[in-house]
C-alpha cells in the first residue's frame, strides 16, 4: 500500500526528469504510428525489414535531435528526418514523401489541441499547468495516440491514400482543394477561439467546437473518398462504352465480310454449275 502511495505521489507531483524518461518510449510509439499511417497514404507495400529499419533510424535521430536542438526548432528537423528516411527506405518521390509526412504531423497537432481543450474543460485550468505532472502527461499522450491509432485503422479500412487525389477531373480537383482549404481555415479559427477564449466561452460552446472539428474531419474524408469512387465509376463506364463501340464496329465489319463472302461463294457456285 505504501509503495502504491509513493508511486502516486511521484506521478501526481511535478517531475521534469520523469517526464523526459516517459517521453523516450512514447516517442517510439509515435514514430511507429506515423510510419504506418504514411505507408497507408503512400499505398506502399514494403518488407518488414525496411519498415523496421526506417522506424529505428528515425527514432534514434529524433532522440539525438532532442538532445541537441531545443524545442520548437527540433520539430522542423524531425520533419526533415522523416522525409529523408522515406526517400531512402521507401523509394518514393519528394512530393509524396512530404504529403505522407505532413498528414500525421497535422493530425497529431490537431488531437493534441483537442486533448488540451478537454483537459481545460474537465479541470477548468489550462493544460500547461498539468504538463509537468507525469500522470496527466501519460493520460494526455494515451488520448492522442489512441486517436491516431483509430485514424490509422480508418485509413486502412477506407483505403485512403495519395492516389485518391490524383487523376481527377478539373471540377473534382477544385472541389477537393476547396474543401481542404476551407478545412484548414475552419480548424485554425476553431482552435484559435478555443485556445485564447476558453476562459470566457461556456463549456458547452467549447464542447460543440471540438465536436464540429471532429465531425468536419470525418465528413470531409468520407466526401473525398466518395468523390474518388464516383470518378473511378465514371471512368469505368466510359471505358465500357468505348469497348462496346469497338465490339459493334467489329461486328459490323464481320457482317459485311460475311455478306461479301456469301456473294463470292454464290458467284463461284454459279460459275461451277455452268
- How far is it, in rounded angstroms, from Cα 185 to Cα 183? 5
- How far is it, in rounded angstroms, from Cα 256 to Cα 258? 5
SS3 216: helix
- How far is it, in rounded angstroms, from Cα 79 to Cα 48? 22
pLDDT of 193: 66
Instruction: Determine which helix (DSSP H) or strand (DSSP E) holds 204, and give its type and residue range.
Output: helix 203-273
Please, are residues 74 and 65 in contact by the beta-carbon 8 Å criterion?
yes
pLDDT tens across the length of the chain (274 residues): 577 777 777 778 888 888 888 889 999 999 999 999 999 988 888 888 899 999 999 999 999 998 888 876 788 899 899 999 999 999 888 878 888 888 888 788 778 877 877 777 777 776 667 778 888 888 888 989 998 999 899 888 877 787 666 556 666 666 666 666 666 666 666 666 656 666 666 767 767 777 777 777 777 767 766 766 776 777 778 888 887 887 788 877 777 666 666 667 776 766 766 6
Instruction: Determine which helix (DSSP H) or strand (DSSP E) holds 197, and give its type and residue range.
Output: none
pLDDT of 164: 60
pLDDT of 112: 81
Amino acid at each position: 500500500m505504501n509503495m502504491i502511495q509513493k508511486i502516486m505521489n511521484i506521478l501526481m507531483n511535478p517531475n521534469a526528469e520523469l517526464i523526459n524518461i516517459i517521453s523516450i518510449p512514447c516517442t517510439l510509439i509515435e514514430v511507429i504510428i506515423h510510419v504506418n499511417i504514411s505507408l497507408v497514404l503512400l499505398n506502399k507495400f514494403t518488407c518488414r525489414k525496411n519498415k523496421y529499419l526506417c522506424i529505428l533510424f528515425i527514432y534514434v535521430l529524433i532522440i539525438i535531435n532532442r538532445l541537441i536542438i531545443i524545442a520548437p526548432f527540433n520539430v522542423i528537423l524531425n520533419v526533415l528526418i522523416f522525409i529523408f528516411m522515406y526517400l531512402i527506405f521507401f523509394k518514393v518521390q519528394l512530393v509524396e514523401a512530404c504529403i505522407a509526412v505532413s498528414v500525421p504531423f497535422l493530425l497529431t497537432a490537431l488531437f493534441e489541441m483537442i486533448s488540451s481543450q478537454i483537459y481545460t474543460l474537465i479541470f477548468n485550468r489550462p493544460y500547461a499547468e498539468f504538463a509537468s505532472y507525469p500522470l496527466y502527461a501519460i493520460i494526455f499522450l494515451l488520448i492522442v495516440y489512441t486517436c491516431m491509432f483509430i485514424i490509422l485503422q480508418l485509413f486502412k479500412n477506407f483505403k485512403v491514400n495519395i492516389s485518391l487525389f490524383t487523376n481527377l477531373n478539373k471540377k473534382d480537383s477544385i472541389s477537393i482543394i476547396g474543401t481542404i482549404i476551407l478545412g484548414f481555415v475552419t480548424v485554425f479559427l476553431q482552435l484559435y477561439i478555443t485556445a485564447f477564449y476558453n476562459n470566457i466561452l461556456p463549456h458547452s460552446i467549447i464542447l460543440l467546437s471540438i465536436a464540429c472539428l471532429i465531425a468536419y474531419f470525418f465528413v470531409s474524408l468520407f466526401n473525398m473518398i466518395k468523390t474518388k469512387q464516383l470518378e473511378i465509376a465514371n471512368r469505368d463506364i466510359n471505358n465500357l462504352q468505348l469497348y462496346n463501340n469497338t465490339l459493334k464496329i467489329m461486328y459490323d465489319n464481320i457482317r459485311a465480310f460475311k455478306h461479301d463472302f456469301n456473294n463470292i461463294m454464290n458467284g463461284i457456285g454459279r460459275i461451277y454449275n455452268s
